[in-house]
Amino acid sequence: MIVVTGGAGFIGSNILAALEARGAPKLVLCDRLRSNDKWRNVAKRELADIVHPDHLPAFLDRHASEIEAIFHMGAISATTETDADRIVENNFALTLMLWDWCAAHGARFIYASSAATYGDGDQGFDDDASIAHLARLRPMNPYGWSKHLFDRLVARRLADGGPTPPQWAGLKFFNVYGPNEYHKGGQQSVVAQVYPKAAAGEEFSLFRSHHPDYRDGEQRRDFIWIDDCIDVMMWLLDNPKVSGLFNVGTGQCRTFLDLARAVYVALGKEPLITFRDTPLAIRDKYQYFTEAKMNRLREAGYNKPFTTLEDGVARYVNDYLAKPDPFK
């Protein structure tokens, strides 16, 4: 049995699709489905159970002998969320409970960290998991801080010789795009936001730069196709001796202009890009540059190439966004 928290969400639902394709038995989804179309992310999956997060501890204890691994993707992932108490409860306390449960019951534990832990990038984007290095990072919003807080706790527990799951991996996801993100509203990838405008032959407005070192649209991020993220996690599942904190990016930053233009090109359209001011609420919390340092994952043995931005966007547009049923 494998449990996927946040299983109806973007990354979680793609994990379930990959596990089902591999023939994994007894897949359990833990999530809040609410009243939007989030359920459609998993409508094609065969599931052994659906568990509300409030009932997860009791479910785990009932099925302790059956659970092989937990993929913990459940979190408040909006970088605009300001309720720090709610964020800590969901992103830190729940993760800690699952870590302790997996350590006590011998289950493997793969959890989502985030590139938001790096803050403005002054300290680089090195997935160094040492106590000293992590202490230097300064996340710029409560979401990034909550993920960083848990990464630091893991580092301290390891240093103190505390109990750990038989395999554990914290994954610092960079800017992921791909199918099943449609419920995320304004937190969808730029690809998903550009597509309706591009398909209609209309202009799309990117955020204007408010940094002297970057021209409008030249803000740079490490954009990664969802299938590459999933492949890393399936590789971890196949390599139970690999544990650690790992970046999950491509190792190559690209501009938002590159990303937006790629959507128009995938549709055979002339790019029509304009600019609008970045909202004041997030202007001082904006990452103008991210680029994953990927040597640790490579040194651990993962050697597959990552999908180029142009190929990933074309696959997303043609295989999903342009289809009557865009869900995986």
Burial, 216: exposed, middle or buried (Cβ in 10 Å; 0-12, 13-18, 19+)?
Answer: middle
User: In whole angstroms, what is the distance from residue 26 CA to residue 20 CA?
Assistant: 9
Partners of 223 in the beta sheet?
175
Out of 38, 111, 118, 143, which one is annotated catalytic? Answer: 143
Instruction: Verify whether residue 26 is a known catalytic residue.
Output: no
Partners of 169 in the beta sheet?
110, 244
Instruction: Verify whether residue 195 is a known catalytic residue.
Output: no
User: In whole angstroms, what is the distance from residue 23 CA to residue 209 CA?
Assistant: 46
User: In whole angstroms, what is the distance from residue 145 CA to residue 294 CA?
Assistant: 22
Tokens linked to 30: 């833990």
For the chain, what's the residue count? 328
Half-sphere exposure of 106 (CA within 13 A, CB side): 4
Catalytic residue ranges: 143, 184
